[in-house]
C-alpha cells in the first residue's frame, strides 16, 4: 500500500479516533472519580469534594476534609496511577513479545513477588533490607524473565500461558515451603504473606502513593519514548535487526521496563489481575491501530478507568463490607479479557 492510498482512505484516522476515545475516557474518569470521592460513611457533597480538591493549605478539622483528602483521594489516585501503569506495561509486553497473551498476571509476576515477600516476612535475615517495592520488582522480574526470557518461543501464546501457570504453582509452593519450615516463633510473618496474596486498596494512604510515585514518574516517559522501538519489534526480529535494532537486547530492556511499571503496585496494593491484558486489546480495537505510541496513551487511560471502576465497585457494592480489589478484578476483568481473547482465537484479530 502506498501513502497516497492511505491518505485517500475516507473516514477518521487513528489519531482522530484516539483523541475521541481519550476524551471519553477522561470524562469517565472525572465523573467516576468525583463520585467515588463523595461516597463513603458518611457521604460527602460534591461541593465539599470540589472545595477540598482545589483548596490548598492544611486540612481542616471537619470529617469531610479528613475523609476526602486523607482516605478517599489517595485511593482514587492510586487506582489511576496503577491502572495507567498497568495499561502501558501491557502494551510493552504484548507488542515486544508479539504475543497477545503476554501479561504479568499470566506470567507469575505476582507469585514471584509473593515468594520474596514470604522470604522477607519470615526470614528477614536472608533478604537485604530493601523497600517492598524493590523486593517485588526483583521477584516479579525473575518470574517474568523465567517464562519469557528462557522460553525459546515467547510468541506462542499457549506455551506462555501454560508456562506462566506452572511457574505460578511452583513459586506458590516455594512460598508455602518458606512458611512451613519457619519455626513457630516467626508465625506472624505468615499473615503478612497472605495479606499480600489477596491484595487490597484498604490501607492506601499518601505514604503508599509516595512509595509508587517515583517509579511511575521515571518509567512513564521512558515507556512513551520507547514506543518507536516497540513498533519496530512488531515488524519481526529480522526486519527490526535489518533496520539497526538488536531485538534480543531491546526485548529484555522492554521487559524490565514493563516490570518497573507493574511491580510497585503489586507491592502497594497486591496483585491486580488482567487490567494489563485487557486495556491494550480494547485500545487497539477502539482506535483500530497498532501504533504503539497511540495504543500506549489510550491503554493508560483505559487502564486507569478500569481500575477506578473496579475499586469503586469493590468499595461500594457490598458496603460496608469491602472485597479486595484484586479479587474483584479477577472476577470482573478476567472474564472480559477472556471474551476478548476468545475473539482473537476465533479470527478477526483487528475487528
Partner 1 sequence: MTDTDAAEVAGTVADLRATGIDAGYGSPVLHGVDLTALDGKVTALVGPNGSGKSTLLKVCANLLDPEAGSVVVCGEDIDGLSTRQVATRLALLPQGPTTPPYLTVRDLVEQGRFAHVGPLGMLRRGDHEAVTRAIQLVGLEHMVNRDVDSLSGGERQRAWLALSLAQETPVLALDEPTTFLDIGHQWEVLELVRSLNADRGLTVLMVLHDLNHAASFSDHLIVLEHGRAIAAGEPWDTLTDELLRDVFGIEASIIADPRTKRPLIVPHAAAKRRSGSTES
Partner 2 sequence: MSALASLPPDPRVRTSIRTIAVVVAVTLFMMAMSLWWGTGSVRLGPVTAWNALFDSENAERLEVVAAEARVVRILMSVLVGAALASAGALLQTLYRNPLASPEITGVTQGSVVAVVVWLVYGPRESADPDWLFPVIGCIGGIAAGLLTYAVSRLGGRVDPLRLILVGVLLGGLLGSLLGLALIASDGLGLDLISWTVGTVQSATWGRVGLLAAALAVCLPLVVIAIPYGNALALGEDVAQGTGLTVNRARGVVLFAAAAVTAAAVSLVGGIGFVGLVAPHLVRRRTGSDLRRLLPTAAVVGALLVLVADFASRNIRPRDLATPFGAAEMVGAFALPTGVYLALIGAPFFIHLLRRQP
Rounded CA-CA distance 302/274 in Å is 13
Grid cell for residue 222: 521512558
> Binding of partner 2 at residue 157 (CB under 8 A)?
yes
Q: Are 116 and 136 in contact (CB under 8 A)?
A: yes
Could you tell me the smallest distance in angstroms from the CB atom of residue 348 to partner 1? 6
Measured distance between the N- and C-terminal CA atoms of the chain, rounded to whole angstroms: 20
What is the signed CA dihedral for 173, 178, 179, 182, rounded to 10 degrees? 150
Residue of 34, 165, 213, 316 interacting with partner 2 (CB under 8 A): 165
Q: Are 33 and 48 in contact (CB under 8 A)?
A: no
**Binding-site partner at residue 347 among partner 2, partner 1, none, CB < 5 to 8 Å by type:** partner 1
**Binding-site partner at residue 247 among partner 2, partner 1, none, CB < 5 to 8 Å by type:** none
Could you tell me the smallest distance in angstroms from the CB atom of residue 163 to partner 2? 5
Grid cell for residue 212: 509508587
> Binding of partner 2 at residue 156 (CB under 8 A)?
yes
Backbone CA torsion sign across 50, 54, 59, 60: negative
**Binding-site partner at residue 348 among partner 1, partner 2, none, CB < 5 to 8 Å by type:** partner 1
**Binding-site partner at residue 87 among partner 1, partner 2, none, CB < 5 to 8 Å by type:** none
- From residue 221, alpha-carbon distances to 19, 161, 250 in Å are 19, 29, 17
Rounded CA-CA distance 115/134 in Å is 13
Which residues 214-273 are close enough to bind partner 1 by CB under 8 A? none
Q: How many CB atoms lie within 10 A of CB 100?
A: 20
DSSP state letters, 254-308? HHHHHHHHHHHHHHHH----SHHHHHHHHHHHHHT---HHHHHHHHHHHHHHHHH
Rounded CA-CA distance 152/146 in Å is 11
Which residues 332-351 are close enough to bind partner 1 by CB under 8 A? 346-348, 351
The stretch near partner 2 (CB under 8 A) out of 28-36, 63-71, 98-106, 216-224 is 98-106
The stretch near partner 2 (CB under 8 A) out of 75-83, 90-98, 163-171, 257-265 is 163-171
- Total chain residues near partner 1 (CB under 8 A): 5
> Binding of partner 2 at residue 252 (CB under 8 A)?
no
Binding mask 1-40 for partner 1 (x = CB under 8 A): x---------------------------------------
Rounded CA-CA distance 144/256 in Å is 9
Binding mask 108-147 for partner 2 (x = CB under 8 A): ---------------x----------------------xx
Residues that bind partner 2 (CB under 8 A): 101, 105-106, 123, 146-147, 150-153, 156-159, 161-170, 172-174, 176-177, 179-184, 187, 190-191, 194-195, 197-199, 273-274, 324, 326-327, 330-331, 334-335, 338-339, 341-343, 345-346
Binding site for partner 1 (CB under 8 A): 1, 346-348, 351
Amino acid at each position: 500500500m502506498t501513502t497516497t492510498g492511505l491518505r485517500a482512505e475516507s473516514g477518521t484516522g487513528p489519531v482522530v479516533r484516539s483523541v475521541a476515545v481519550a476524551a471519553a475516557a477522561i470524562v469517565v474518569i472525572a465523573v467516576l472519580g468525583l463520585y467515588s470521592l463523595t461516597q463513603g460513611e458518611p457521604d460527602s457533597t460534591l461541593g465539599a469534594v470540589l472545595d477540598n480538591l482545589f483548596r490548598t493549605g492544611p486540612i481542616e478539622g471537619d470529617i469531610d476534609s479528613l475523609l476526602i483528602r486523607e482516605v478517599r483521594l489517595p485511593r482514587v489516585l492510586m487506582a489511576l496511577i496503577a491502572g495507567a501503569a498497568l495499561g502501558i506495561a501491557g502494551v510493552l509486553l504484548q507488542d515486544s513479545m508479539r504475543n497477545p497473551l503476554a501479561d504479568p498476571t499470566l506470567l507469575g509476576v505476582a507469585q514471584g513477588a509473593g515468594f520474596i515477600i514470604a522470604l522477607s516476612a519470615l526470614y528477614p535475615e536472608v533478604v537485604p533490607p530493601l523497600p517492598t517495592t524493590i523486593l517485588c520488582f526483583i521477584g516479579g522480574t525473575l518470574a517474568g524473565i523465567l517464562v519469557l526470557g528462557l522460553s525459546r518461543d515467547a510468541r506462542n501464546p499457549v506455551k506462555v500461558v501454560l508456562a506462566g501457570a506452572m511457574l505460578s504453582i511452583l513459586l506458590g509452593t516455594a512460598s508455602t515451603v518458606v512458611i512451613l519450615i519457619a519455626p513457630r516463633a516467626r508465625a506472624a510473618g505468615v499473615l503478612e504473606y497472605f495479606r499480600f496474596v489477596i491484595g487490597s486498596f484498604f490501607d492506601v494512604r499518601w505514604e503508599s502513593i509516595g512509595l509508587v510515585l517515583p517509579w511511575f514518574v521515571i518509567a512513564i516517559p521512558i515507556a512513551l519514548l520507547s514506543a518507536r522501538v516497540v513498533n519496530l519489534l512488531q515488524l519481526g526480529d529480522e526486519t527490526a535487526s535489518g533496520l539497526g535494532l538488536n531485538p534480543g537486547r531491546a526485548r529484555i530492556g522492554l521487559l524490565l521496563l514493563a516490570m518497573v511499571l507493574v511491580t510497585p503496585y503489586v507491592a502497594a496494593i497486591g496483585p491486580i489481575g488482567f487490567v494489563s491484558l485487557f486495556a491494550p486489546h480494547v485500545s487497539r480495537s477502539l482506535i483500530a491501530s497498532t501504533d504503539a505510541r497511540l495504543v500506549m496513551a489510550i491503554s493508560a487511560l483505559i487502564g486507569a478507568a478500569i481500575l477506578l471502576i473496579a475499586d469503586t465497585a469493590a468499595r461500594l457494592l457490598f458496603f460496608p463490607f469491602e472485597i479486595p480489589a484484586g479479587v474483584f478484578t479477577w472476577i470482573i476483568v478476567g472474564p472480559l479479557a477472556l471474551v476478548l481473547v476468545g475473539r482473537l482465537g476465533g479470527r478477526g484479530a483487528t475487528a
